């Protein structure tokens, strides 16, 4: 079933029940939307887009921060049979321009935060973009854009023509640009079948029912946040969109909205633990008994984090979710809520997925040996749009090469070792940064850590640890060196740098940023 049909069904079955809640702690605002309104706003925008000449296969860019209308707009685009093109809201003008040109977008929908960026590139987009739609206050609407709320109020917008649109599950649905942490963002083409499958897989993994309430904090432009929400969406369960990442705001939202399922990124989970440890938040002030599941994805999860989490929240189910944009988001591999004894592993193949671990020649490795993780299933993308060479590099006979190095233990559980491009080769030895990062995360004074390779004339590369210290804590280079004595000598970081660890909106460490910042520097760094 198309996800647009799922929305129509939810509107029929759960008409006046809450579908979405938006909370903005900064403005102390809260908004609700029921399933009927969700469906109706999607239909109205879809009809307007069709009236503006949007046809099957056209592309519509969506550049917005999280808000209550983000999802209705996304579904509206899909309903026209056009392709939705959600863009990373941290992209600068140059990247927004390149992505929009790659997509050859006909319509550009954007929020207030992006007025300057869109205005700066508008002339360069005139050959493609014919309609701009602004989501925000009338007073701020650029003269070249149509106000979204005017479309919602226009009584001449009818939805009957939507019945004439034919969409098949095999049709393309959306272009998702990769995060670009390993290079220039690539346009990943997903089909309606990919999106449908993500709904079933997510619900199968986390067993959402109509009574669940999902807390969405990560950016909706990313497949991770949206595809995790799909598990609630398919059963007509509500969700809360929280515009904030402070521990107090997260716990307050869970308490007041009676949230049952929360997907966190590693930094947010660490912040919550630190806030509890330091007394910044007191759990006794919140109603959290209904909170049944905490799961984490988007990056490797330090086992020490989950160990501490379970001490504080012993009743929580926990799951690690591994995925990538090219596999329709999270879940091609997942730990499973029943496998707490294997915390540290990314898990086993997800629902209807297969996995292999391959050597450089493409042959399966001996069990227990490291190799590149490959996945196969209904979530695999159609292609990298307009990039045949890159598509051929990662799609092999239906298998998607993930670019991640992993190993499989004797019980069949997969352990992520590192990104293939992040492996450090020092003096002929392979060093996997995630292994060292997990180790250093166990130090009580370390908030976050990233390990990168830096050029070395003698060894080729050396490992450097960028260490972010917890607020109020102190630690010296000598302390870190001493802590690392239990590691094999070649795995010990050769340089210790005290600095903040940059992460993108989906929680991934921005290692290219760190390599650029520190390559060529030879001086020591300290607090």
Q: How far apart are CA 467 and CA 449, in angstroms?
A: 5
Q: State which residues of the chain have pLDDT below 50.
A: 181-182, 522-527
pLDDT value of position 435: 78
Q: What is the pLDDT of residue 338?
A: 93
Q: What is the pLDDT of residues 423-443, one digit of tens each?
A: 786 755 667 787 788 889 889
Judge contact between 327 and 178, C-beta under 8 A. no
Cα 84 from Cα 96, distance rounded (Å): 15
Q: Which residue has the tokens 């369960």?
A: 237
DSSP state of 354: E
Cβ-count burial 444-477 (b if 16+ within 10 Å, e if not)? eebbbbbbbbbeeeebebbbbbbbbbbeeeebeb
E-only strand ranges, 370-456: 371-376, 383-384, 395-396, 399-408, 414-419, 424-426, 429-431, 446-456
Q: Are strands 213-216 and 238-242 parallel, antiparallel or unpaired?
A: parallel
Closest to 449 (Cα-Cα) out of 407, 415, 483, 411? 483
For tokens 């292609």, the residue is 383
3-class DSSP assignment, residue 184: coil
- Contact 141/51 with Cβ under 8 angstroms? no
pLDDT at residue 154 in the model: 82
Q: pLDDT at position 298, please?
A: 63
Residue pLDDT, tens place only, 339-365: 988 988 999 999 999 999 999 999 999
Position of tokens 């069709």?
50
As given in the structure block, the two tokens for residue 268 are 């947010």
The 3-class secondary structure across 189-251, one letter per residue, is EEEHHHHHHHHHHHHHHHCCCCCCEEEECCCCCCHHHHHHHHHHHCCCCEEEEECCCCHHHHH
- pTM here is 0.84
Q: For the purposes of burial, counting CB atoms within 10 Å of the CB of 207, is it exposed (0-12), middle (13-18) or buried (19 or more)?
A: middle
* C-alpha to C-alpha distances, 437 to 17, 271, 372, 519, nearest whole angstrom: 45, 17, 20, 19
Cα 513 to Cα 21, 73, 290: the distances in Å are: 35, 33, 40
Query: From start to end of 130-193, where are the E strands?
Result: 131-135, 146-147, 172-177, 187-191
406, 398, 4, 422: which is closest to 173 by C-alpha? 4
Say if CB 58 and CB 106 are below 8 A apart: yes
**Chain position carrying tokens 């060093």:** 431
Residue 444 to residue 470: CA distance in whole angstroms: 8
**Domains of the chain, earliest start first:** 3-12+35-167 (3.40.50.980), 197-419 (3.40.50.12780), 424-518 (3.30.300.30)
Scan for tokens 């209308």, then name that residue: 69
Q: What is the DSSP secondary-structure string of 98-111?
A: HHHHHHT-SEEEEE
Residue 141's pLDDT is 97
300: three-class secondary structure by DSSP:
coil
| pLDDT, position 69 | 98
CA distance 81 to 170: 12
**Tell me, what's the pLDDT at 181?**
46
Tokens of 133: 């739609």
Long-range CB pairs of 118-123 (<8 Å, 24+ gap) are: 118/63, 118/142, 120/93, 121/93, 121/96, 121/97
- pLDDT at position 158 is 64
């Amino acid at each position: 079933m198309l996800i647009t049909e799922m929305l129509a069904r939810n509107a029929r079955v759960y008409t006046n029940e809450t579908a979405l809640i938006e909370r903005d702690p900064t403005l102390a605002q809260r908004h609700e939307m029921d399933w009927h309104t969700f469906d109706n706003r999607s239909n109205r925008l879809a009809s307007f887009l069709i009236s503006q000449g949007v046809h099957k296969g056209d592309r519509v860019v969506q550049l917005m921060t999280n808000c209550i209308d983000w999802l209705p707009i996304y579904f509206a685009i899909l309903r026209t049979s056009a392709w939705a093109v959600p863009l990373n809201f941290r992209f600068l003008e140059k990247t927004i321009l390149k992505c929009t040109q790659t997509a050859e977008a006909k319509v550009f929908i954007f929020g207030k935060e992006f007025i300057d960026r869109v205005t700066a590139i508008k002339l360069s987009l005139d050959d493609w973009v014919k309609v701009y739609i602004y989501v925000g206050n009338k007073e701020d609407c650029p003269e070249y854009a149509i106000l979204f709320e005017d479309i919602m109020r226009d009584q001449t917008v009818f939805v009957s023509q939507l019945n004439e649109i034919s969409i098949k599950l095999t049709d393309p649905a959306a272009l998702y640009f990769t995060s670009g942490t390993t290079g220039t963002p690539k346009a990943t083409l997903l089909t309606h079948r990919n999106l449908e499958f993500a709904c079933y897989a997510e619900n199968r993994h986390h067993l959402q029912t109509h009574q669940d309430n999902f807390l969405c904090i990560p950016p909706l432009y990313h497949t991770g946040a949206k595809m995790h929400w799909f598990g609630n969406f398919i059963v007509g369960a509500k969700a809360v969109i929280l515009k904030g990442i402070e521990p107090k705001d997260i716990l307050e939202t869970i308490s007041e909205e009676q949230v049952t399922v929360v997907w966190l990124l590693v930094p947010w989970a660490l912040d919550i633990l630190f806030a509890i440890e330091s007394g910044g938040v007191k759990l006794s002030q919140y109603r959290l008994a209904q909170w049944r599941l905490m799961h984490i994805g988007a990056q490797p999860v330090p086992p020490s984090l989950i160990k501490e989490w379970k001490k504080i929240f012993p009743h929580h189910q926990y799951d690690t979710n591994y995925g990538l944009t090219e596999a329709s988001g999270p879940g091609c591999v997942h730990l499973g809520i029943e496998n707490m004894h294997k915390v540290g592993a990314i898990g086993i193949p997800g629902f209807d997925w297969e996995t292999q671990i391959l050597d450089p020649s493409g042959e399966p490795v001996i069990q227990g040996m490291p190799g590149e993780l490959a996945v196969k299933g209904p979530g695999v993308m159609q292609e990298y749009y307009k990039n045949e060479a890159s598509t051929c590099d990662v799609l092999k006979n239906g298998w998607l090469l993930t670019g991640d190095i992993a190993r499989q233990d004797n019980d069949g559980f997969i352990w992520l070792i590192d990104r293939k491009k992040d492996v450090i080769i020092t003096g002929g030895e392979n060093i996997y940064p995630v292994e060292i990062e997990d180790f250093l995360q166990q130090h009580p004074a370390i908030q976050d850590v990233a390990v990168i390779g830096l050029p070395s004339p003698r060894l080729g590369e050396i490992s450097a640890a960028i260490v972010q210290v917890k607020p109020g804590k102190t630690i010296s280079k000598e302390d870190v060196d001493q802590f690392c004595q239990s590691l094999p000598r070649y795995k010990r970081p050769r340089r210790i740098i005290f600095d903040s660890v940059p992460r993108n909106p989906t929680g991934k460490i921005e290692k290219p940023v760190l390599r650029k910042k520190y390559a060529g520097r030879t001086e020591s760094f300290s607090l």
